[in-house]
Amino acid sequence: MKTIFFLIVFIIENSLCIAQPVIQVEKQSFVNVGRSGYYWQDSLGKASFEEVEQFKAARFSKGTSAIFNGGTRGKVWWMKLRFKRNSQTEPYLFISYANIDSISLYYRDAEGKVRLISSGMFNLKKSDALLGTGYAFPLQQVKAPVGDIYIRMQAMNTLLVPAKLVTESVLNHALIKAYSIQLIYVGIALMILIFHIFMYFITRSKLFALYIARVILLYFIVMVCYLQGYGLLFGQAVASFILIHAHFFIALGYICTILFNNHFLKLKRQLPQLNKIFNVLLVGWSIILISSLWDARSFTNLLTQVLFLLTSLLFLFSSIQVIIIRGYAKKNPLIWCYVFGWIPVALASIYLVFCLMAIIPFQSYSFNLLTMAVIVEGILISLGLFGQRLRLLARHNAHFRKQRILMHEQMEGYRKQLNQKNQKPVEHLSLKELTELAKSHDPSFMKKFEETENQFITSLLQIAPQLLPAELELCAYIRLNFDTKEIARTCKLSVRAVESRKYRVRKKLGIDGEMNMQSWMSNLNKLS
């Protein structure tokens, strides 16, 4: 009885393994067929097509997700698909992901001969590559009615294979649709980039420069040129370089983003402990940056995924802490957009890292999630940056209003003093007597100087009404031919403080940098 039972189990098991689904290629919709495929990992990378073709079905594992995930270790994988078509259809195998190092497609034609089509980023041909989308392989000569195709695949970064068996008409329609969506995304990203470039030239703010670097590195180079394959527009050499050193651009982009986030939220002052954590992340991204230059993709793959997840989550956490909890955006709600901008990026990063780790299966929409998240982030972060500029402008306007009021009060005070002087007889002192008063630290020095050199003070205020009392006193010392060290001793200031005050007076009075201030003061006195 036991022998009969095991025999029945063996027959059932073998029948289930052999029964690989046959994909009907007739009016086929544009969907991934990953679950209909069977896979085998070639650990040594030396198996030939003839050997793999002879494998029993039990050696293959059935696909579990729409997009096959072959991991990040650079292993060679074989994929087997079975399909059926009628005589009127022209079937194609389309792999809608460009970043695969090498792809070799094998099948037997109607005469039983082995056909081989090789492609991939390092073995690219104009006839089999569709720019910016992936690779298309014609299957018209596959043995009918049921054809078996074997695909040998390898990628040192992440081996992701969204395979589709479609007819030519469906393929062309889907490609036009895909290109249209990609052009819309690129157009929006380009508008965001132009906005930040415009704002940088107006404000010269480091914030806009760092975000420009993020958009260029992480969107246009990594997502457009690398993930979507448009690097081929610049030639195969450039596309291959970006593929090999993709982690270099990712690391550099995230270094710029961390600096941007720290500067925007002023984390060094607001959250010093979190700022230290970001400094550790900067070290981690710097390690990836250096390692990627030597094509250490097997090492940088895992580290990039971990840091990508941690950094994205910390961006969201830090923005919530500073903007919402600490009330950074209390007076300008538009800055809240900065927080909302990191939410889709954080969620997409969690989803994609879990997919790459095979915790969650890849789906047909997985590739578009990160692109959509980045576009939403770019729009919201731009609004947040604009809100911060409005906040700074409001603060500056308030400061200038206070300065204007102070200057007005100062001018009124000088007018009253001048009126009082006109009413009373003024005792004029000589320059020598004024110098003695200054050196003796007499508190009445400035009053006596204004009485004696009334025209000199009036001329200064006519040129620069915003001069402060301390700056007028400095002009008085310069008028009396005091040098910088003598002024520092008399006013009990450091030489550097006096030089800073001189610099501010030069700017307010419009004195050329090469002009001697004592000569200028003397000439002003003569003109007055």
Quick: pLDDT tens for 115-158. Answer: 998 888 877 765 544 555 678 888 888 887 788 899 999 988 88
Mean pLDDT of 381-387: 85
Question: What is the Cα–Cα distance from 428 to 432, expressed in whole angstroms?
Answer: 12
Q: Which residues contact 360 (CB under 8 A, 6 or more apart)?
A: 351, 354
Question: What is the Cα–Cα distance from 274 to 317, expressed in whole angstroms?
Answer: 10
Q: What is the DSSP string of 398-426?
A: HHHHHHHHHHHHHHHHHHHHHHHHHHS--
pLDDT band at 475 (very low <50, low <70, confident <90, very high): confident
Q: Is 235 left (phi over 0), alpha (psi -120 to 50) or beta?
A: left
Please state, rounded to an integer, the average pLDDT across all residues of the chain: 82
Buried b (16+ CB within 10 A) or exposed e, 113-147: eebebebbbbebeeebbbebbbbbbebeebbeeeb
Q: What is the dihedral of CA 428, 432, 437, 439, to 10 degrees?
A: 160
Q: Residue 106: pLDDT above 80?
A: yes
Q: What is the dihedral of CA 29, 32, 34, 35, to 10 degrees?
A: -60
Q: Count the neighbouring beta carbons within 10 Å of the beta carbon of residue 500.
A: 12
Most confident range, picked from 113-122, 274-283, 291-300, 389-398: 274-283
| Sequence ranges of the chain with CATH classification 2.60.40.2380 | 21-172
Q: How many CA atoms lie within 13 A of 282 on its CB side?
A: 14
Mean pLDDT of 217-226: 90
Q: Which residues contact 270 (CB under 8 A, 6 or more apart)?
A: 321, 322, 326, 328
Q: How many CA atoms lie within 13 A of 370 on its CB side?
A: 20
Q: Considering the domain 21-172 in this protein, what is its CATH number?
A: 2.60.40.2380
Q: Residue 282: pLDDT above 90?
A: yes
Q: Omega of the bond prior to 145 within 30 degrees of 0, cis?
A: yes
Amino acid 111 reads: E
Angle of the 206-214 helix axis to the 366-423 helix axis, nearest 10: 170
**109 DSSP assignment:** B
Q: What is the pLDDT of residue 399?
A: 67
Q: Which residues contact 424 (CB under 8 A, 6 or more apart)?
A: none
Look-up: residue for tokens 């007819």? 167
Q: What is the pLDDT of residue 331?
A: 67
Does the pTM surpass 0.75? The reply is no
119-128, 252-261, 293-302, 336-345: least confidently modelled range: 119-128
Q: Give the three-class secondary structure for 165.
A: strand
Q: What is the dihedral of CA 332, 334, 336, 339, to 10 degrees?
A: -140
- Here the tokens at position 110 are 């109607």
CA-nearest of 61, 169, 57, 159 to 103 is 159
pLDDT in tens, 317-341: 999 998 888 877 676 677 888 889 9
Q: Residue 347: pLDDT above 70?
A: yes
pLDDT band at 425 (very low <50, low <70, confident <90, very high): low
pLDDT band at 308 (very low <50, low <70, confident <90, very high): very high
Mean pLDDT of 237-263: 91
Q: Count the neighbouring beta carbons within 10 Å of the beta carbon of residue 62.
A: 14
Q: What is the pLDDT of residue 525?
A: 64
**What count of residues does the chain have?**
528
Question: What is the Cα–Cα distance from 310 to 278, expressed in whole angstroms?
Answer: 10
- Please say whether the beta carbons of 259 and 210 come within 8 A: yes
Question: What is the Cα–Cα distance from 419 to 368, expressed in whole angstroms?
Answer: 76
Q: Residue 2: pLDDT above 70?
A: no
Q: What is the pLDDT of residue 41?
A: 93
- Please say whether the beta carbons of 247 and 291 come within 8 A: yes
Radius of gyration in angstroms for the set of CA atoms belonging to the chain, rounded to a whole number: 37
Mean pLDDT of 2-7: 43
- Please say whether the beta carbons of 79 and 33 come within 8 A: no
- The values of phi and psi at residue 370, to 5°, are -65, -40
Question: What is the Cα–Cα distance from 75 to 105, expressed in whole angstroms?
Answer: 17
Q: What is the pLDDT of residue 514?
A: 77
CA-nearest of 385, 317, 384 to 345 is 317
Q: What is the pLDDT of residue 248?
A: 92
- Please say whether the beta carbons of 23 and 165 come within 8 A: yes
Q: What is the pLDDT of residue 109?
A: 87
Question: Could you tell me where the beta strands, DSSP code E, fall in 342-499?
Answer: none
pLDDT band at 507 (very low <50, low <70, confident <90, very high): confident
Most confident range, picked from 13-17, 43-47, 226-230, 512-516: 43-47
Q: Residue 13: pLDDT above 60?
A: no
Question: What is the Cα–Cα distance from 391 to 380, expressed in whole angstroms?
Answer: 16
Q: Residue 488: pLDDT above 50?
A: yes
Q: What is the pLDDT of residue 258?
A: 95
Q: Residue 16: pLDDT above 80?
A: no
Q: What is the largest CA-CA distance in the chain?
A: 135
- Please say whether the beta carbons of 438 and 424 come within 8 A: no
